[in-house]
């Protein structure tokens, strides 16, 4: 599998060495697409994919994702971004370029349950995720072996109500040391503080084991069983200061019946959680998500 990962990664970096993406958000108005296309054209870029959406053509908010090829982009990107600034100011636009040959660096936080962690690691090792995983952080020592067997450092940092500020400071220092771009909570059973979240605004992806907004918080499977639900689900979202209320990225469900007990619901739920979290991570890696208020635009 290591050989497969390396081969797929080398192929990806070669194929997309001159590929980039542009995400924009601004007030809807005539001429947006034309002005963006003009700048890219003047720099010799070829647009290979373009998606756009407006909340309302008359005064709404406009969103766009553009993927383009630009030969020798490593040398030209500084000039491209500089020439794009006047348009950004003119249209009062939020904009961001990302370059596919610069792999995103993902940190994973986990507690004791291993199903989401192992699925993410498998997708990474098999070459399905084009990213780097420089470290895994846990508040329990239990999952050290499967992580370190892949050559990924595993940091055990106990967290309790008395040491939480110190523990989070240690975590943030590690994220800074490893130059982490975003964090994935793979069933990390701790609530992050507002101070932690502000360092990675809209860059912390969580998996919640229910179909939000139903059953926010703890023990959702037990509460779903008590309520006699006919579907169960999982929700991946960006973390905010409000518990399980952040912008939703991806969701999944499966029908269940009165014959399912709590353990049955949990067993089925683990499969949904793995799939939903993996899809959310993939969307983030591919720059397909724009956060708008407490919602997401997903291209």
Catalytic residue annotation = 244
Closest CA to 45 of 79, 20, 65, 69: 69
Instruction: Give strand pairing partners of 297.
Output: 290
CA-CA distance, 195 to 191, in Å (whole number)? Answer: 12
The total number of residues written for the chain in this structure: 299
Strands 61-69 and 132-138: unpaired
For 226, the token pair is 């008590």
Catalogue the long-range contacts made by 69-73 (C-beta closer than 8 Å, 24 or more residues apart). 69/18, 69/19, 69/45, 70/18, 70/20, 70/40, 70/43, 70/44, 70/45, 70/46, 71/18, 71/44, 72/18, 73/17, 73/18, 73/19, 73/20, 73/99, 73/101
Query: Helix %, strand %, coil % for the chain, to 5?
Result: 35, 25, 35
Phi-psi region of 202 (alpha: psi -120 to 50; beta: other; left: phi over 0): left
């Amino acid at each position: 599998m290591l050989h497969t990962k390396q081969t797929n990664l080398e192929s990806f970096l070669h194929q997309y060495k001159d590929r980039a993406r542009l995400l924009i958000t601004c007030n809807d108005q005539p001429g947006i697409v034309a002005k963006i296309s003009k700048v890219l054209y003047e720099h010799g870029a070829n647009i290979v994919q373009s998606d756009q959406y407006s909340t309302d053509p008359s005064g709404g908010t406009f969103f766009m994702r553009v993927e383009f090829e630009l030969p020798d982009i490593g040398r030209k990107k500084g000039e491209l971004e500089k020439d794009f600034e006047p348009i950004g100011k003119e249209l009062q636009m939020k904009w961001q370029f990302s370059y596919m040959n610069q792999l995103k660096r993902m940190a994973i936080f986990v507690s004791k349950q291993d199903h989401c962690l192992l699925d993410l690691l498998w997708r990474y090792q098999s070459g399905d995720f084009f990213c780097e995983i420089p470290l895994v952080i846990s508040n329990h020592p239990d999952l050290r072996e499967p992580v370190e067997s892949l050559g990924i450092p595993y940091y055990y940092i106990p967290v309790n109500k008395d040491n939480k500020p110190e523990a989070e400071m240690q975590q943030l220092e590690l994220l800074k040391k490893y130059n982490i771009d975003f964090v994935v909570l793979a069933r990390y059973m701790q609530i992050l503080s507002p101070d932690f979240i502000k360092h990675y605004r809209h860059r912390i992806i969580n998996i919640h084991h229910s179909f939000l907004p139903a059953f926010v918080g703890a023990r959702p499977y037990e509460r779903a069983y008590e309520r006699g639900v006919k579907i169960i689900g999982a929700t991946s979202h960006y973390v905010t200061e409000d518990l399980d209320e952040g912008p939703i990225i991806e969701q999944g469900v499966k029908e269940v019946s009165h014959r399912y007990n709590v353990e049955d619901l949990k067993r089925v739920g683990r499969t949904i959680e793995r799939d939903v979290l993996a899809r959310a991570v993939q969307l983030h890696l591919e720059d397909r998500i724009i956060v708008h208020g407490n919602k997401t635009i997903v291209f």
